[in-house]
Structure 1
Amino acid sequence: MTLDEKTVPAQAAAPHRRKPVPRWLLGVGPLVLIAILVGLFSLLNAPGLGTLSEGVPPKEEVAVEDIRLTPGQIEITVRNEGPDPVSIAQVNVSDYYAMFTQSRETMAPLESTTLSISYHWVDGDPYEVALVTSAGGKIPADIEAAALSPERGGSFFALMALLGIYVGVIPVALGMLWMPFVRRSSASWVRVLLGVTVGLLAFLAIDATLEAVELVAGNGAFGGPMVVFLGALTAYLILEGTDAWMRRRQELGATGRPAALPPQRLALLIAIGIGLHNLGEGLAIGSAYAVGSLALGASLIVGFAIHNTTEGLAIVTPLAKQPPGLGRLVILGLIAGAPAAAGALIGATVYQPALAAFLLGIGAGAVAQVAVKLLPLLKDTSGKTFTPLTGAGIILGLGVMFATGLLVQA
């Protein structure tokens, strides 16, 4: 038998190899099947499950998002947080059933409606407001002390911008005046100041998280408190990923490892983190003033100024050995302080609790990421990060922020 005769049967016996399925099709295929099944399930109206809701009253969960008072009228914005449609049938104001109109007759899940209630309220008086649904449920929307809501005109927005400058830009700029003191401090004192900075940022992260959770504690729409931690984690990962990408682009040192984080960039990260925090702070201030629930007197402005002045110190401390030019300091100050003005403007116009909580969460995650980046700079000559000096600095930073925070309780 020749060689050709031997190879023919072997080739005939070999199985035919099919062309492999494209990898993208393997990933998209299950998604298409899931979409088809969900579409059929909805089109057929959940076959076999229709009887489960028979005899069960609708679940009504409605949150009050905004209350505005104008002459002879009360405007209340509410949002449906439950799974069933909700209709507002009656409005009771201090045992009086008032006439009202609404922007939407029936609220589907996550939809909102604004009720315009005809009622001649008296300045300074409290009112118990109850929104009665078509199913008989009652939604409380009490007014502790009636006050005319400010008009949202040009002068109002100018006031919000000025307020943001007062509580954001000016205090941060004043805090940055510690730059000469930081430059002339010894290495031990610089580590103490860095510890103070870590304490300041840690307090800001905790304070922003608690404030954000409080905003949505009774509001389950859009995830409730989960949006706070989602915002914090998003900000932390974005800043961490951005920093890692920038460090990989630098030249490697003699050891083959990325170079240490430059002080200039660390100061920029601190300014960004504080700016995001001040954005959420300004948002809360603007929204509170817009509904007339915050007394923005001179003492409150002074309290905010003292509280936020320490943020300027946090920015300039990493620059002790590499002082920047005046222009760069101005830019860093604006990055940290100007978002307070932007937040006040946003809060005065399109305030929404879930959005405010998300932005506060972003600020908390940003300052937490920067605080972690500062820890390696606390090391002394023996390589220890936490020493009595740095520990005292961290405690001092926390204490200063707590004490000045008491001045802005409203």
Structure 2
Amino acid sequence: MRERSNGALPQWLLAVGPVLVLGSILGLLSLTTPFEALVAVDDASTLEIVWLLTVIGALAGVVPVAIGMLWFPFIRDLDPRYLHGFLALAGGVLAFIAIQLTVDIVETGLAADRTGLAMGLAVVGIVGTFVAMHAVSAWRQRTMAAADTDANGLAIAYLVALALGLHSIGEGLGIGVSFVRGDTTQVTLLVLAFVTHNVMEGPTVVAAVARDRTAPPLRHFAAMGLLAGGPVILGGWLGSFANSAPLAVLFFAVAVGAIAQVLIEVAGLIRFDAEGVLTRTNVATFAVGFALMFFLEDVLAGALLNGVLVPS
């Protein structure tokens, strides 16, 4: 039996608190244009560009993931059946991202000057990453079996964070390209869009940890948050200095391969202490996670990027 937290805060506040924080940040970003005052790219030094993209990437990637991880105390105190459902919800989030990335691979690859090279990189990225992560997972399971331990959630949480981090590189590419073009309005809208849906990456990461007997030290949460959201910064750097379609396809493909392996890991984690994976609760929450990401990514974020929700 894992330990449960007994904090003084009521459950409803633990559930609503991150939403209030997210709403405040989105409100500030939508009412202001924080990137209008950015130094002109043509006059900026390389160091200035790197620093500004670091700040923007942290706001778009690290901050929303950290906000989402604030749901950990709420998730941790859920009944095991609903905790498994939350893991399934995380699977729905990951499945949507994988499908979206696959579409991006096809669209970006077909639009590239060297389509054959781009699609070849896609195959290598997906298959190579899946095989490599599967081998690492098998080694980890053998090591844990030899050590006679079932503290599996933290290891899988790191794998989830890694897969999401690889996906986040693609987001940073979009920010970097818009930045070097001097389109500060587009940068603001991209940040708004990424903050909106990246907040779901936080609970997706910590859901696996919540089923372990004890909560890990805070340094693990910080490391996983940086691993999941920090690559937006790396993508921003790459997008500003190496705007390459084949490179983007490769990063997208690596993320798809990683997510495919992580979905297998999440299913195994549910199966570890549950009668089955395809329960009504799990299927329903998987669908909710998928639908929620569709709303955040294709509906709400699309409205933001089209200027519907942001005053001109």
TM-score band (shorter)?
A: 0.7 to 0.9
Q: Is the 8 A contact 1:183 1:320 kept in 2?
A: yes
Are positions 1:174 and 2:64 aligned together?
no
Tell me if the contact between 2:171 and 2:235 (Cα under 8 Å) persists in the aligned partners: yes
- Find 1:317's aligned residue among 201, 207, 211: 207
Aligned counterpart for 1:401 among listed residues 293, 297, 307: 293
Q: Distance in 1 between matches of 2:272 and 2:242?
A: 48
Q: Equivalent residues in 2 for 1:36-115 (5 A)?
A: none
- Could you say which residue in structure 2 is the equivalent of 1:198? 91
Alignment partner, residue 226 of structure 2: 334
Distance 1:353 1:182, change over 3 A: same
Amino acid in the other structure paired with 1:234: G
Tell me what 2:6 maps to.
none
Give how far 1:189 is off.
1.0
Supply the AA of the counterpart residue of 2:72.
Answer: M
Shift of 1:248: 2.3
Is 2:153–2:269's contact at 8 Å kept on the other side of the alignment? no
Which residue number in structure 1 is paired with residue 170 of structure 2?
A: 280
Match for 1:238: what amino acid? A
Percent identity between matched residues is: 28
Which structure 2 residues correspond to residues 353-392 of structure 1 after superposition, within 5 A?
Answer: 353-379=245-271, 383-392=275-284
Structure 1 residue 233 corresponds to structure 2 residue 123: no
Q: 1:350 aligns with which of 239, 242, 245?
A: 242
Contact residue 59 and residue 191 of structure 2 kept, 8 A = yes
1:243 matched to 2:154? The reply is no
Q: Distance in 2 between matches of 1:353 and 1:295?
A: 23
Distance 2:260 2:211 in 1: 24
Give 1:164's match in structure 2, choosing from 28, 44, 57.
57
Equivalent in 66, 70, 76 of residue 183 of structure 1: 76
1:183, CA displacement in angstroms?
1.0
Residue in 2 aligned with 1:214?
A: 107
Secondary structure at 2:227 match in 1:
helix
Does structure 1 retain, via aligned residues, the 8 Å contact 2:172–2:233?
yes
Residues 283 and 348 in structure 1, CA contact (< 8 A), matched pair in contact too:
yes
Cα offset, 1:347, TM superposition? 1.1
Gaps of at least 5 residues in structure 1 are 1-148
8 A Cα contact 1:176 1:315, kept in partner: yes
Measured after TM superposition, the shift of residue 352 of structure 1 is 1.0
5+ residue gaps, structure 2: 1-39, 306-312
Equivalent-residue separation in structure 2 for 1:150 and 1:217 (angstroms): 30
State the Cα distance separating 1:303 from its structure 2 match: 2.4
Amino acid at match of 1:166: L
CA contact (8 A) 1:284 1:356 kept: no
Deviations 1:282-337 (A, max 9, x none): 12321243235684354542321120000000111011133111111111111111
Q: Are positions 1:289 and 2:179 aligned together? A: yes
Amino acid in structure 2 at the alignment position of 1:318: A
Aligned-partner Cα distance in 2 for 1:300–1:352:
19
Tell me, yes or no, if the aligned pair for 1:378 and 1:386 is still in contact at 8 Å: no
For the pair shown, the structure with the greater C-alpha radius of gyration is 1
Residues of 2 paired with 1:351 and 1:261: CA distance?
A: 42
| Higher helix proportion | 2
Corresponding residue to 1:263 among 153, 163, 168: 153
**Equivalent position SS for 2:208:** helix
Distance change (3 Å), C-alpha of 1:300 and 1:353: closer
1:229 Cα deviation from its structure 2 partner: 2.7
Take 1:209 and 1:284, find their aligned partners in 2: how far apart are those partners? 16
AA matched with 1:159:
L
How much has 1:351 moved relative to structure 2?
1.8
In structure 2, the CA distance between the partners of 1:183 and 1:206, relative to structure 1 (3 Å rule), is: same
**Matches of 1:341 and 1:224 in 2, distance apart?**
23
Corresponding residue for residue 41 of structure 2: 150
Distance 2:274 2:249 in 1: 42
Give the distance between the partners of 2:236 and 2:163, measured in 1 at CA.
18
SS of 2:130 mapped into structure 1: helix
Q: What number of residue pairs does the alignment pair up?
A: 258
Q: What is the TM-score when the length of structure 1 is the normalising length?
A: 0.59
Matches within 5 A, 1:125-140: none
Alpha-carbon RMSD across the aligned residues, in angstroms, is 2.3
Distance in 2, matches of 1:261 and 1:184, equals 18
Residue of structure 1 equivalent to 2:17: none
| Cα distance between partner residues in 1 of 2:301 and 2:204 | 20
Q: 1:83-142 deviations in whole A, cap 9, x for unaligned?
A: xxxxxxxxxxxxxxxxxxxxxxxxxxxxxxxxxxxxxxxxxxxxxxxxxxxxxxxxxxxx
